Amino acid sequence: MTTTACFIIVSRNDIPIYEAEVGSAAKREDAAQLHQFILHAALDIVQDLAWTTSAMFLKAIDRFNDLVVSVYVTAGHTRFMLLHDSRNDDGIKSFFQEVHELYIKILLNPLYLPGSRITSSHFDTKVRALARKYL
Amino acid sequence: MIGVGKIKQYSNILDKPLSKGKQEVSLSAFAFLFSELVQYNQTQVDNIAELERRLEDAGYAVGARVLELLCHRDKGNRRETRLLGILSFVHSTVWKVLFGKVADSLEKGTEHEDEYMISEKELLVNKFISIPKDMGTFNCGAFVAGIVRGVLDGAGFPAVVTAHFVPMEGQQRPRTTILIKFAEEVLRREARLG
């Protein structure tokens, strides 16, 4: 079953620090830009919602046609956003939690400036592997 | 073979599991490192204010990381959204992990609505430091003030945090107070959330 999924990590200052198309469907050039546009438009909703709850996983917060945006907010207000067409809530939650651990390990690097782009190829490999496993 | 068990070698930090946080660092090692940090910065600046700012910036980087790590490790992935919540998080959890004990006291300022104070009889970083008379009001606790500012800023509560000495009668060394002054938007949001 092919799934579309676009994963973005947005820092506290609303700057994307990591993006990846992790769906198993064939990648189309215009689809990637549309996905990023939808995710950025959902940022406003996340901002309001983040202050109403102390949980980190804010399920599905926005929809576009048949694509759903799910968001996970960390303690430092870094947002993990996933645009997808599946309904697998538990899988998505586990995916977010695993990526959160990876993100903390990157953050603990004293030479990493918080809020800057994540350029590690190993991180990229691991995120894609997690996406294949959970999504 | 006189052997130790085979230790798994990780090629990349991302493969290693996050530590449980039970490890302790020797106080002398930290004091030595901190004294070098202060001395190095002293050679780089011309005045006290700049030195304090540099120590604060060093602490800010620590604070940002401590916030994420502790929320994940000790608080089971719950974020703090209220003012009192984040203050008690700093006062207990952060202090316990960094200094081995909770802070001595957390008080609300009487003159202004947006001021809070965390007091400590003897701040760990100041334990082996004495300030010469000609440096006036300089306080190496600016490093800890930076850590607190990093935690508050990361959690979405921007504030100005400073460290002050408060002389106490009957005690030779003055008490250290970390003064936290929250920004306007924090108070407005707190009022809005009710």
Chain A residues within 8 A of B78 when measuring between CB atoms: 54-56
Residue B115 contacts residue B180 (beta carbons within 8 Å): yes
pLDDT of residue B7 exceeding 60, the answer is: yes
Q: Note whether B130 contacts A: Cβ–Cβ < 8 A.
A: no
**Is A44 in contact with A60 (CB distance < 8 Å)?**
no
Tell me whether residues A110 and B61 touch, CB distance under 8 A.
yes
pLDDT of residue B57: 93
Instruction: Find out whether A3 and A24 touch, Cβ atoms under 8 Å.
Output: yes
The pLDDT of residue B79 is above 60: yes
ipTM higher than the 0.90 cut: no
Residue among B73, B94, B51 at smallest CA distance from B180: B94
Using 50, 70 and 90 to split pLDDT, how confident is the model at B194? confident
Name the pLDDT band for B4 (thresholds 50, 70, 90).
low
B27-193 domain in CATH 1.10.101.10?
A: no
Interchain pair A102, B14: CB under 8 A: yes
Best of A77, A120, A127 to disrupt the B interface by mutation (most B CBs within 10 Å)?
A77
Cβ burial of A69 (10 Å; 0-12, 13-18, 19+) is buried
For the segment A46-74, what is each residue's pLDDT rounded down to a tens digit?
988 888 888 888 878 888 888 889 999 99
Q: Are B106 and A78 a contacting pair, CB within 8 Å?
A: no
Is B64 in CB contact (< 8 Å) with chain A? Answer: yes
The residue segments making up the domain with residue A119 are 4-134
The DSSP output letter for B12 is S
Give the CATH number for residue A122: 3.30.450.70
Q: Please indicate whether residue A1 or residue B81 has the higher confidence score (pLDDT).
A: B81
Question: What residue segments make up the domains of chain B, in order of their start?
Answer: 27-193
Instruction: Say yes or no for a CB contact (<8 Å) between A97 and B77.
Output: yes
pLDDT of residue A66: 82
Query: Which member of B14, B64, B77 has the closest CB to residue A76?
Result: B64
A101-110: string of b/e by CB count within 10 Å (b at 16+)? ebbbbbbeee
**Residue B8 in this model has a pLDDT that exceeds 90:** no
DSSP B38-95: HHHHHHH-SSHHHHHHHHHHHHHHHHHHHHHHHHHHTSSSB---SHHHHHHIIIIIIH
- Give percent of chain B above pLDDT 90: 40
Angle CA B182–B180–B174, to nearest 5: 165
Contact at CB, B80 and A54, closer than 8 angstroms: yes
pLDDT tens, residue by residue, A79-133:
999 988 877 888 899 999 999 999 999 999 999 999 899 999 999 999 999 988 8
A75 has pLDDT over 80: yes
In one letter, which amino acid is A87?
Answer: R
Strand, coil or helix: B110: coil
Q: What is the mean pLDDT of residues B74-89?
A: 86
Most B-contacting residue of A105, A109, A121, A124 (CB-CB within 10 A), to test interface: A105
How many domains does chain A divide into? 1
Nearest CA to A81 among A46, A129, A127? Answer: A46
Please report the pLDDT score of residue A105 as a whole number: 92
Question: Residue type at B181?
Answer: K
d(CA B13, CA B11): 7
What's residue B1's pLDDT? Answer: 60
pLDDT the model gives residue A41: 87
How far is C-alpha B88 from the geometric centre of its chain's CA atoms? Answer: 13
Q: Does B18 touch chain A (CB under 8 A)?
A: yes
Q: Is B124's pLDDT higher than 80?
A: yes
